């Protein structure tokens, strides 16, 4: 038995039109006028928008200090049907094996949305780099390296980034970087702490815009020498976005994403009293409002490709987790929950304010993330043959983000109190209804891995 979503205003990244969508066997099998098949469930989407299930290319579960997949249904409640999760390589474990182990330990029968996996190099070595070419065999075609975090095992020097770029390219694996200059941050952090400037509001001062711009610029130089594509995660500011744009315009295959919080929040959040600022500590830090404004322009103009949530619900939440940094901002575990609110925020504060069109919303929240992750058009598109991941969206809903509605198991909500306009009235994952009006109504642990194809989006315009 199938499903027919009738008369919805279908939004794609390029177009919109009213039609019916016919779903059978987890796939969209037809789109048309007056599709009527006996015995199929019919959902009336009249006056509703219908768009592809969200693809959040940047989430963290079961890693560092974050909570795990038992909370991953939060994504579906917010309209996101696929998450791109970063798999941490334990020191001493092969890069490919880290994926196999992680899947067994944390994902099988535990993940609720569908997922695509990215690797993270935490133990840089010749063996690890060589293993990059084996990643597509386990469905992974993107691997992140950390330029920040001096003195940590997962700090990756230029040597390994350069080698990873050279090797990744041989197998179509996209190298992603967390781009901040570790040395500058280390010097500034120690100086601030030594001066007694320990509160969250100094966190931003310890990681200036220029330290992000510098590391981004450096990674691009290395990509240019290696003649390899590059993806810069969580870009926060104008300078850095311009560096990526200008490199792309010059002919390099250089791309970057931003995240929900860099579009919604600014550095004033870090200055909230009573240690409340700690809730908003994430890496890189929130920036001044002028940068926030530029981030909207950057996604609108296509200078940044997409919007991830960088979801990371810290174990112990604010009360215990964040509290570790009560006397030293550098000890605050960075990260905050966001996977559930991403679509709501971008729609309400982007589309409803006129900053971006509905097409652009679909592009940056669904379609391009799927392309970046190498899972398009299976995910991120409304077309015949794609997975029936569908959001029926009621634009007339009016409400507010509340902690009590959050499924992320944190004791605070990053966007608490923000008004929202519109809601994912019905969310389908491979044709199954999994959420309704912000509530999860599906079955836990039914998420599947989506195999990422190598030579994905960042390789598109790439010519040897």
Interface with a second copy includes 158 (CB under 8 A)? Answer: yes
Structure tokens at 407: 């499924």
Q: How far is the CB of 122 from a second copy (least distance, A)?
A: 19
**How many Cα neighbours within 13 Å face the side chain of 73?**
20
Q: Of the ranges 10-18, 92-100, 134-142, 338-346, which one interacts with a second copy (CB under 8 A)?
A: 10-18
How many whole angstroms separate alpha carbon 107 and alpha carbon 69?
7
Site residues for a second copy, 202-261, by CB under 8 A, read 208, 210-211, 213-214, 217-218, 221-222, 224-225, 245, 248-249, 251
Q: Is the Cβ of residue 38 or residue 463 nearer to a second copy in the bound state?
A: 463
Q: Which is nearer to a second copy, 133 or 384 (CB)?
A: 384
256, two tokens = 């970057």
Shortest gap between Cβ of 303 and a second copy (angstroms)?
A: 8
Rounded Cα–Cα distance for residues 279 and 28 (Å): 41
Residue partners of 412: CB distance under 8 A and separation at least 6: 279, 317, 318, 403
Candidates 26, 30, 64, 108; binder of a second copy (CB under 8 A) is 30
For a second copy, the binding residues in 118-157 under the rule CB under 8 A are 150, 157
Binding mask 75-104 for a second copy (x = CB under 8 A): ------------------------------
Residue 224 or 411 having the CB closest to a second copy? 224
Q: Give yes or no for residue 290 binding a second copy (CB under 8 A).
A: no
42 binds a second copy (CB under 8 A): no
Q: Tell me whether residue 41 or residue 158 sits nearer to a second copy (CB atom).
A: 158
State whether the Cα torsion 441-443-445-448 is positive or negative. Answer: negative
Min CB(157)–a second copy separation in Å: 6
Site for a second copy in 358-387 (CB under 8 A): 367, 376-377, 381, 383-386
> Which window, 24-32, 310-318, 420-428, 430-438, contacts a second copy (CB under 8 A)?
24-32
Selection from 235, 255, 243, 446 nearest residue 369 by Cα: 255
Per the CB < 8 A criterion, the answer to whether 38 and 54 are in contact is: no
Applying CB under 8 A, does 7 fall inside the site for a second copy? no
Phi, psi of 242 (to 5 degrees): -65, -35
| Cβ proximity to a second copy, 240 vs 452, nearer residue | 240
Dist CA 64 CA 313 (whole Å): 10
Structure tokens, 61 = 């579960």
CB 128 within 8 A of CB 173: no
Query: What DSSP string runs through 226-252?
Result: HT--EEE-S--SHHHHHHHHHHHHHT-
CB 37 within 8 A of CB 19: no
Structure tokens at 437: 């009006």
- Counting Cα atoms < 13 Å in the Cβ hemisphere of 172 gives 17
How many residues line the site for a second copy (CB under 8 A)? Answer: 62
Residue numbers 303-332 binding a second copy by CB under 8 A? 303
Q: Where are the alpha helices (DSSP H) in 81-175?
A: 95-102, 126-130, 158-168
Instruction: State the residues that interact with a second copy by CB under 8 A.
Output: 10, 12-19, 22, 29-35, 150, 157-159, 162-163, 181-184, 186-187, 208, 210-211, 213-214, 217-218, 221-222, 224-225, 245, 248-249, 251, 297, 300-303, 354, 357, 367, 376-377, 381, 383-386, 460-461, 463
């Amino acid at each position: 038995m199938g499903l027919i979503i009738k008369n919805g205003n279908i939004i794609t990244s390029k177009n919109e039109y009213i039609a019916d969508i016919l779903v059978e066997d987890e796939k969209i099998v037809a789109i048309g006028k007056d599709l009527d098949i006996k015995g199929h469930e019919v959902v009336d989407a009249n006056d509703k928008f219908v768009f592809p299930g969200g693809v959040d290319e940047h989430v963290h579960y079961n890693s560092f200090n974050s909570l795990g997949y038992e909370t991953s249904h939060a994504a579906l409640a917010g309209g996101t049907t696929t998450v791109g999760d970063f798999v941490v390589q334990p020191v001493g474990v092969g890069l490919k094996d880290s994926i196999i182990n992680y899947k067994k330990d944390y994902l099988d029968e535990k993940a609720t949305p569908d997922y695509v996996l990215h690797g993270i190099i935490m133990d840089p070595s010749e063996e690890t780099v060589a293993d990059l070419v084996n990643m597509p065999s386990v469905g992974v075609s993107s691997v992140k390296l950390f330029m920040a975090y001096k003195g940590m095992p997962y700090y990756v020097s230029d040597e390994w980034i350069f080698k990873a770029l050279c090797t990744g390219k041989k197998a179509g694996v996209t190298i992603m970087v967390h781009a901040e200059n570790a040395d500058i941050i280390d010097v500034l952090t120690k100086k601030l702490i030594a001066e007694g400037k320990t509160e969250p509001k100094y966190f931003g001062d310890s990681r200036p815009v220029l330290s992000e711009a510098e590391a981004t610029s450096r990674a691009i130089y290395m990509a240019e020498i290696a003649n390899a594509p590059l993806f810069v995660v969580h870009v926060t500011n104008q300078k850095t976005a311009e560096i990526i744009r200008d490199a792309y315009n010059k002919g390099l295959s250089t791309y970057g994403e931003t995240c929900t919080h860099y579009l919604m929040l600014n550095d004033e959040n870090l200055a909230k009293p009573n240690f409340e600022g700690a809730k908003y500590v994430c890496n890189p830090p929130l920036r001044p409002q002028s940068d926030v404004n530029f981030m909207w322009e950057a996604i609108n103009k296509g200078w940044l490709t997409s919007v991830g949530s960088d979801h990371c619900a810290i174990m112990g939440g604010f009360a215990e987790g964040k509290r570790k940094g009560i006397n030293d901002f550098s000890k605050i575990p960075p990260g905050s929950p966001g996977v559930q609110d991403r679509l709501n925020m971008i729609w309400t504060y982007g589309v409803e304010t006129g900053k971006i069109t509905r097409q652009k919303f679909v592009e940056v929240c669904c379609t391009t993330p799927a392309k970046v992750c190498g899972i398009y058009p299976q995910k991120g598109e409304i077309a015949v043959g794609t997975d029936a991941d569908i959001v029926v969206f009621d634009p007339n809903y009016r409400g507010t983000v509340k902690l009590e509605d959050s499924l992320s198991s944190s004791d605070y909500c990053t966007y608490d109190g923000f008004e929202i306009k519109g809601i994912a009235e019905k969310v389908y994952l491979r044709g199954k209804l999994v959420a309704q009006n912000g509530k999860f109504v599906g079955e836990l642990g039914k998420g599947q891995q989506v195999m990422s194809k190598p030579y994905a989006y960042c390789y598109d315009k790439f010519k040897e």
